[in-house]
Amino acid sequence: MFDEAAVEAADRAARIWAAGVSGPIAPGSEAHKTAFCRMLLDTHNPYKPSIIDWPVLDAEARERLVSLPIWDIAVQTEGKARQRVLSYAAVIEDPLLRRAVELDGFEEGRHKEVLANLVEAYGISLAPEPEYRRPRDPEWAFMVTGFSECIDSFFAFGLFALAKRSGFFPPALVDTFEPVMQEEGRHILFFVNWVAWHKRNLSWPRRPLFAAKVLAVWIYWHGSASALLEVSGTPGTDREPLRRTTISP
């Protein structure tokens, strides 16, 4: 059963959470790991996508929503993110860190469910989804997802705010995404702290390899994003090419 009080309590917890540690926390320390893992676990919002009440849109607002060539990419990206994050969780030995990454993966899957419900509610047609395969290198895939969320959210948060202020989307529709936006923010906070903690706990011979992985992720992301922008910016391009273009390993 859906517990509205629990959802409200989780929303408040996410806004006021603190590590409860006096003094600075040393990056890479056990206290550091405990803090960023507990942050994610303690602020989980138990909302259920199936009970989201999607607002009724007038014909013009619905057409603006349907015409955006992003829905295939958005749904597939969240599906791949879930697979990548859970694949990395499966190879983690530390129990607390594994629990936190598993929750991250669950929430990515829930984002996909939210988007699937949205497109159904407003009659948006999607291309068939691909098979979400387990990545060959779970850590690489987790890093691609994490850094992509940092960049994607930088633009998405601003675009949502602009859409609300300009009236491009009705405020009620933008507000419906508030739990998802909060979760993306939590995932970013968790990921950047994981990077800082993880690299400090690698042996010195492995640190250059990790640094090379980070650089490779940025090069990969830049190439994928450039390809996506090239397709979306081509005159006369319809949604079909966009449906086949996603930023994923």
What are the per-10-residue average pLDDT scores of the chain (249 residues)? Answer: 70 85 93 97 90 90 89 90 97 98 97 93 90 92 94 83 85 85 92 97 94 90 58 45 38
Please tell me the total count of domains within the chain: 1
Please state whether 123 falls in left (phi above 0), alpha (psi between -120 and 50) or beta: left
Is residue 4 situated within a structural domain? no
Is residue 138 situated within a structural domain? yes
Alpha carbons 77 and 224: distance in angstroms, whole number = 13
- The CATH number of the domain holding residue 55 is 1.20.1260.10
Residue 179 near residue 10, CB atoms below 8 Å: no
In Å, what is the CA distance from 52 to each residue of 48, 61, 166? Answer: 7, 19, 24
First-to-last CA distance in the chain?
A: 37
pLDDT at residue 242, rounded to an integer: 41
pLDDT at residue 52, rounded to an integer: 87
pLDDT at residue 246, rounded to an integer: 37
Is residue 15 situated within a structural domain? no
DSSP labels for the chain? Answer: ---HHHHHHHHHHHHH-----SS---TTSHHHHHHHHHHHHHT-----GGG--PPP--HHHHHHHHH-TTHHHHHHHHHHHHHHHHHHHTT---HHHHHHHHHHHHHHHHHHHHHHHHHHHTT---PPPPP-PPPSSHHHHHHHHHHHHHHHHHHHHHHHHHHHHHTSS-HHHHHHTHHHHHHHHHHHHHHHHHHHHHHHTS-GGGHHHHHHHHHHHHHHHHHHHHHHHHHHTSTT--HHHHHT-----
Residue 111 lies in domain = 29-243
pLDDT at residue 3, rounded to an integer: 65
pLDDT at residue 192, rounded to an integer: 97
Is residue 20 situated within a structural domain? no
pLDDT at residue 234, rounded to an integer: 45
Is residue 110 situated within a structural domain? yes
